[in-house]
A = this chain, B = another copy of it.
C-alpha cells in the first residue's frame, strides 16, 4: 500500500511539528547536495501554515519577498527531495503542499467554483480495501504502482450560497 515506505509516518496533517518538517527538509536536501536556504525554509513554513494545498499566487500573497522564479525553482527542488508534492486540480495554477510522508496520507475535496481545496481522510478500513484493490489492478495491468489519489469534486457552501 501507499504507506509502505512510511511505516511510522503520521496519519493526519497535524501530527508532525514544524521542527520535524524542517529537520526532514534539511536532511533530504543535504542528501541531494542542496542547501536548506531561508527562501526554501520560508516556502515550507507557508505550506505548513496553510494546512491545505496552495497555488503560487497564494504563496506570493503570504510571502511577497519570494521571487516568483525562485519559488517555482525551490518548489521543484523540494518536490524532487520528497518534501513537497504538486497537485493538478485542473485550474490555471498548480497546487503545492507538504508531502504525504510528512503530513500523512490523505485525499482532496475540491470546489468546482472557487477551486479551493481541503484535505480529507477516508476511514482506514476503506482506505485499506481501496489500496488492496488498486494494487491488484496495477498488477494485472503490469504496472509498478507508486501512489493513488481520490478527489471529491463539488461546490463549497460559500459558493452554493452565492448562487
Contacts and interface: CB of A to CB of B under 8 A. Distances in A.
Given A144-B160, A147-B153, A148-B152, A126 B130 contact: yes
Interface of A: 86, 88-90, 109, 111-112, 118, 120, 122-123, 126, 129-130, 133-134, 137-138, 141-157, 160
A133 B142 contact: no
Nearest to A134: B152
A154 B145 contact: yes
Contact of A129 (B86, B89, B126): B126
Contacts of A134: 150, 152
Counting chain B CB atoms within 10 Å of each CB, the highest count among A89, A109, A141, A152 belongs to A152
A148 B150 contact: yes
Given A86-B90, A109-B138, A137-B152, 6 more contacts: A120-B137, A141-B156, A143-B152, A145-B153, A148-B150, A149-B151
27 contacts: A86-B90, A88-B90, A109-B141, A109-B143, A111-B143, A112-B146, A118-B141, A120-B141, A122-B130, A122-B133, A130-B130, A137-B152, A142-B157, A143-B152, A143-B155, A143-B156, A144-B155, A145-B152, A146-B154, A146-B155, A147-B153, A148-B150, A148-B153, A149-B149, A149-B150, A149-B151, A151-B151
